[in-house]
Amino acid sequence: MEPISESERLVLNYRTSEFEPFEVDGQPSATESVLQLDQSRPPGVGFHLYRMAPGSSTTPHRHTGNEQFLVIEGDLTDHDGYQYGPGDLVLLRRGTVHNSSTVNGCLLAVYIETAEENLVDGPR
């Protein structure tokens, strides 16, 4: 086999890479950010890292495809009170409606098939 060329491999380290603001309804969020390798997909779709600042919450939304995530660090609580912590590997099925919040902030590794449908207009 031949070595993998630089144009065929992209490596980022989440500890040293700059996260971009996550966009909600076309507006950058001040409390959510994303690190995504595959720039051919919209931010927050496909595999990416998602960070929430302490005290923040997401806009209520519906999943248009399955969402899978791993809590790397921090805390995350869904609107129904279910709490996730570091090491939790979660599947939320297509059609799930929810929003999440964090007290201390969190970092998630996420795979989501398709863009979410926001159920409330405005910033998260």
Determine contact, residues 35/17, Cβ cutoff 8 Å.
yes
The reported pLDDT for the residue numbered 122 is: 40
Whose CA is closest to 95, among 68, 71, 116?
A: 116
Could you give the percent of the chain with pLDDT greater than 70?
Answer: 96
CATH superfamily of 23-116: Jelly Rolls (2.60.120.10)
> Which residues are within 8 A (CB) of 124 and not within 5 positions of it... i.e. 6 or more apart?
22, 24, 29, 31, 32, 56, 57, 58, 59
Return per-residue pLDDT of the chain as tens, 124 residues: 999 999 999 999 999 999 999 988 788 999 999 999 898 998 889 999 999 999 999 999 999 999 999 999 999 999 999 999 999 999 999 999 999 999 999 999 999 998 888 886 543 3
What is the C-alpha separation between 47 and 45, in angstroms, rounded? Answer: 7
Residue identified by tokens 């076309």 is 26
Predicted TM-score (pTM) of this structure: 0.89
The reported pLDDT for the residue numbered 118 is: 86
Whose CA is closest to 108, among 70, 61, 78?
A: 70
